[in-house]
Homo-oligomer: A and B are copies of this chain.
Amino acid sequence: MPITVLLVDDEPLVRAGLRAVLEAQADIEVVGEAADGAAVIPLVRRLRPDVVAMDVRMPLMDGIEATRALLRTVPDPPKILVITTFENDEYVYEALRAGADGFLLKRARPAEIVHAVRLVAEGESLLFPASVRQLAAQYGDGDGGNRAARAVLERARLTEREAEVLRLMARGLSNAEIAARLVVGTETVKSHVSAVLAKLGARDRTQAVIVAYESGFVAPG
């Protein structure tokens, strides 16, 4: 059975583009469209799509509110893929915090869009890597990925402390060990870790470390 997708975006052009890209795939079927978040819930109830691909910024109800509403009111809710125009959109992090499963840049290549839909449909909520990887590539390897790493930092808006904590996570330290190393309480470390997870859109520290490697924030070898 194909992956069923509901498109939610206020721009018809974007919906059409997504539909064209997705329908070209044999295993993906677009089962409906909506122009605003306010219309999402009844549609989801009726169509029961596997994935909702939804713009963050919409006139009546934005993607964040719609995400919250979906997860709150619909039993066995679909996977939510948030669509955004801007590289650096706070709304996206809000949406991820609200429970969205992934995000997608509108300017992404078709293959990436398809890939993202398949990923979230499979239940994987890790999506930073793809976009962040391309970010690293675009910066080239001028100074061994540090530029890219800094760019990732900027994008995720990690504070210095959070970045420090992420570095230690990426060395395999537990919260207690990080606390000992930084000479703070474990509760403090937990706060930082939670912040890092939220900002990276990671579900647990393992995913955060994966993002760290994939983005070049930490380098193997």
Contact = CB atoms under 8 A, between A and B. Distances in A.
Interface in A187-221: 202-207, 209-210, 213-214, 216, 220-221
A181 B173 CA distance: 28
A173 B171 CA distance: 19
Given A124-B171, A171-B126, A173-B124, A220 B209 contact: no
Contact of A206 (B137, B172, B180, B220): B172
Q: How many copies does the complex hold?
A: 2
Interface residues of A, number: 30
A88 to B, nearest CB: 22
A213 B220 contact: yes
Nearest to A123: B177
A206 B124 contact: no
A136 B221 contact: yes
A116 interface: no
A173 B125 CA distance: 9
A133 interface: yes
A165 interface: no
A180 B123 contact: yes
12 contacts: A122-B181, A123-B177, A124-B172, A124-B173, A124-B177, A125-B172, A126-B172, A172-B204, A172-B207, A174-B203, A206-B206, A209-B209
